[in-house]
Structure 1
Amino acid sequence: MNQVLPLPSLSRTTMRAAEFFAGIGLARAGLEPAGFKIVWANDFEPAKKEMYEGNFGTDHDFALGDVAEVSGANLPEDLDFAWASFPCTDLSLAGDRRGLAGKESGTFFHFTRIMAELGDNKPRVVALENVNGLATSHGGDDMAALVRELNALGYSVDVLALDGRRFVPQSRPRIFVVGSLDVPLEDPAAVSVLRPEWLQGVFQDDTLITHRAALPEPPAMLTVGLADVVESMGTRDDRWWEPERKEKFLGSLSAVQLERLNTMKDNGRVSYRTAYRRTRAGVPVWEIRADEISGCLRTARGGSSKQAVVMAGKGRIAVRWMTPVEYARLMGAPDYVLKGLRDNQILFGFGDAVVVPAVQWVAENYLAPLIRGDLSRPERMEKVAG
C-alpha cells in the first residue's frame, strides 16, 4: 500500500542543509546566497577539508572519511535539504564508464542509504550534480536506476542540463538531479534548454516518477570572457615559459592551429586562449581552443589534465600554465581563500568541483522556492511500495 510521507513545516527563513561529497565547498558557496545554511558536510580528502574550513570556518559538523561509514544517525535533525556531488570518475568520458557499478560513482547508493535511514525525517528536497555522461551511462540504465532509487524514498525526480559556460567563461556541462517530496508545478514545454532532447529518455520512462518543474530560462551561453579572468602579470614574470619550451609547444601545433595563432599574434589587440595537451596517433600534441572560453577544468593529476594559457597579439606569443587564481575565477569563486595552500592542492580542489553561480542559479530559481512551497502544487509525493 502506498504511504503518504509527512512533510515538516518550514517556519524558519534559513534552510538547514547537508552537503555530501563536499570537496572544497563550492556547492555551499552557491547555496548560501539563496538562504541555505550548511550544518553538516562530508568528504574523504583531508586536503579538501583543509580548504573547505580555511574558507568557510568551522560552524558546521564535518565528517571526514568514507561516506560508507556515515549513517543516518550521524546527521543533524530537521534537515530541509541535502546536496550530493557524488564522484563522476566512472561516468566521465575520461574514465572507463563503469557507471554506478563503479567503486567511486557507486557511492551514490550510500547517499540514498543514508536518506533511507533518516526515515520520515529525510529532507523534503535533495539535489545531485554530475557529468552529462550520467544520462547515457549504460544506455541510460544508470540514470533510470538513480531515479528509481530516489523514487523508492518518496521523491519525484527532475533532471536539468546546465553548462557552467552560462555563468563563467568555462565550458563545463553538468546534470543537476532534483528530488522532491512535494509535487512541483509542471513546465508545459517538455523540451527546453534545461531539458534538451538527449535528456528526454528519463521523462519518457513510464516506470519512473518524474516531473519537469516550471523554471525561468537560464542566461545565454558566454562566447567571450577569458580575458576577464586571466591573472595580470608582466611579460618578464617567470611563470611564462622560456623560449625553448614555447618553441616545443608551437612545434606540436597542427598547421591550422598555428596559422590561427599567428593571425592572433599579428593582431593589434592582445587576446587569450587555453590549450590542452592531447595524444593523437600516439604522439603528444597541444591543441588550442578556437574561442575565448576555457576548456573544462580537470583535477590536476598528470600533465594532460592541466590547461595552459596562451597570450597572443602585438607581434608576440607567450605561453604558461593556468594559475590557481585563474582556476578559482573560472569556477566562479574569485574570493575563495587560497593563502597558505599548495598550488596542486588548489588545482585539484577546483578541478573536482562545481561552478558556484550555476549552483546559485539552481538554488535561487528551483531549490529554495521548492522548499518554501512557491513551486509546489497542494499534492505530496507518495512513497513507492517496495
Structure 2
Amino acid sequence: MNDNRTHTATGKACPQALEFFAGIGLARLGLEESGFQVEWSNDIDSAKCEMYRNNFTDTPGHTLVEGDMSELSGDDLPHDASIAWGSSPCTDLSLAGTRTGLNGKQSGAFWQYVRLLEELGDSRPPIAILENVNGLATSHSGEDLAAAVHAFNVLGYSVDVLSIDTRRFIPQSRPRLFLVGLQNPPSAEQFDSSLRPDWLQQVFADTSLRTHRAPLPEPPSPLMSGLNMYVENMADDDERWWDAERTAKFLDSLSPVQTARVETLRNETTVSYRTAYRRTRNGKAVWEVRADDISGCLRTARGGSSRQAIIRMGNGQAAVRWMTPREYAALMGAAHYNITGLRPNQVMFGFGDAVSVPVVEWLGKHYFMPALNNTLGKDLYVEQTLLSNHTA
C-alpha cells in the first residue's frame, strides 16, 4: 500500500496519514502540502467519493473506502500511519443544524472514529485530529467538547483545542474548531495564542481532562478584503448574470441600510464585488449584502442555509448572479481541483461541507509535522530567549 514517496525538501519518506470523513479530499490536499502522504481515506457519501476519485485519479499507494464506518474494523486500516484526520459531520452541531450534539444522527459518527482508533491498539497514530464547527465548544453547555476531549484522553492523547478562521488565509469567513490529540505533548508549560480565545478556556480549566496548549506561531491576521481576486471574470452578456427583472427584485428586497450600501458602491468609478445571502426576516425572504470585501461562509443547502450570490457594482451599474462552482473551489483554497464533468450542485455541496486547504496546510507545517519530529515550538523558544536577553 505504501509507495514510500519522499518529501521534496528533505528527501525522507513522507509520514503516512489516515483521512476519516474524507469528503472530497480537501484535508488530504492540505496534509500533503505540509509533507504527509494520505494512504487511506473513507467517506459514506457516494457523490463526494465521486468527486474525490475525479480529482485524485489512480494515486499510487492510496485506498479510498466508500461506505459506513460502522462496518469497518481496526483490521481494515493501515497500521503505519503517523496522523489520523477526522472531519466528522457538523449537522447536529452547527448553527444551521439541529444542535442535538455529538449524539445526533450525523455528528454521532464521531464515536465510530474513536472506536476505530481504539481498535488500532499499539498501532494508533501518535497524532489524531478532530475538525468541526465552533458550535462543538458550546453544544450542551460545553459538555460535548469535554466528552470529545475525554474520548481522546482514553486513547492516550493529550488534547489542544484551537479555533481558526479561513479568512486568515483566504477571504472567506469560515471559523472552525480543531482538536489536536498528541500522544507525546509538549512540556507542561502553557502558551497563549489568539487561536485559543476566551470562550475556549473552559476546556483547559477542566482538571478532569488532559489538555495542553502547544507553542505556535501567530498565523496571518484575518483578511478584510480580497474577494475580487477569487471572483470569475464574466462578460456583461454572460447568461449567468440575472436578467433585469430578477435583479430588480433582488434590489427591491434590500433593507434601507443594505440599499445604501449597494448604491454607494454602484456609484463608484471602480468595480467592486460583494456576496449576499437570502434570509427570512419577519416571515419574509430578503437579501442581505455583506459590508466587507470577503465571502460569507460557504455552506451546503441543508439546515436552512442558502446559496451565496455575487454582486458586481460600479460605474452606475449593479449585476447579480449565483456564485459558481469554480469560485467555491477557489475560496476553499482548491482553485485547481478537478470538477470536470461534475454537477454544479454536487460540487458546491462538496466544497460547502469541507475544510479549507490552507488551514490544514498551516497546521500541518506549524503543528503536526513539528510535533512528529519533536521540534514543536523550538523556534519560538529561541526567539523568546533572544528577546529576553536583548531586553535584559
TM-score bracket for the superposition, by shorter chain length: over 0.9
Conserved 8 A contact 1:267-1:315: yes
1:250 is aligned to 251
Partner of 1:357: helix, strand, or coil? helix
Distance in 2 separating the partners of 1:107 and 1:18: 16
Amino acid at match of 1:373: N
1:48 is aligned to 48
1:21 is aligned to 21
| CA shift digits 1:265-292 (9 cap, x unpaired) | 1100110000000000110000000000
Distance in 2 separating the partners of 1:302 and 1:196: 27
Distance in 1 separating the partners of 2:159 and 2:377: 13
Distance in 2 separating the partners of 1:297 and 1:77: 35
Residue 289 (1) aligns with residue 290 (2) = yes
Distance in 1 separating the partners of 2:377 and 2:267: 57
| CA shift digits 1:231-253 (9 cap, x unpaired) | 01101101000011011101110
Change (3 A) 1:252 1:364: same
Distance in 1 separating the partners of 2:22 and 2:365: 19
1:116 is aligned to 118
Distance in 1 separating the partners of 2:354 and 2:273: 24
Per-residue deviation at 1:374? 1.4
2:108 is aligned to 106
Per-residue deviation at 1:58? 3.2
Amino acid at match of 1:349: G
Ranked by relative contact order (alpha carbons within 8 Å, sequence separation 6 or more), the top structure is 1
1:164 is aligned to 166
| CA shift digits 1:278-336 (9 cap, x unpaired) | 00011000000000010000013499520000000001000000001100110011110
Per-residue deviation at 1:77? 1.8
Pairs aligned (count): 366
* Identity level (%): 58
Please tell me the root mean square deviation across aligned C-alpha atoms, in Å.
1.5
Amino acid at match of 1:170: Q
Distance in 2 separating the partners of 1:302 and 1:208: 32
Change (3 A) 1:173 1:302: closer
Change (3 A) 1:334 1:35: same
Amino acid at match of 1:178: V
Structure 1 unaligned residues grouped into runs of 5+ = 1-10, 378-386
Per-residue deviation at 1:53? 1.6
Partner of 1:217: helix, strand, or coil? coil
| CA shift digits 1:147-173 (9 cap, x unpaired) | 000000000000011000000010000
2:370 is aligned to 369
2:8 is aligned to none
Conserved 8 A contact 1:187-1:215: no
TM-score relative to the length of structure 1:
0.92
1:6 is aligned to none
Per-residue deviation at 1:183? 2.0
Distance in 1 separating the partners of 2:345 and 2:184: 43
Amino acid at match of 1:164: T
Partner of 2:277: helix, strand, or coil? strand
Distance in 2 separating the partners of 1:101 and 1:47: 25
Conserved 8 A contact 1:129-1:176: yes
Partner of 2:138: helix, strand, or coil? helix
Change (3 A) 1:303 1:120: closer
Distance in 2 separating the partners of 1:243 and 1:303: 27
Alignment of 1:92-241 (within 5 A): 92-185=94-187, 188-190=190-192, 192-241=193-242
Distance in 1 separating the partners of 2:166 and 2:134: 12
Match of residue 72, structure 1, among 41, 54, 74: 74
Conserved 8 A contact 1:91-1:98: yes
Distance in 2 separating the partners of 1:215 and 1:44: 34
Change (3 A) 1:19 1:324: same
Conserved 8 A contact 1:277-1:303: no
Distance in 1 separating the partners of 2:126 and 2:305: 41
Per-residue deviation at 1:371? 1.2
Change (3 A) 1:195 1:90: same
Structure 2 unaligned residues grouped into runs of 5+ = 1-10, 379-392
Query: Which deviates more, 295-304 or 313-322?
Result: 295-304
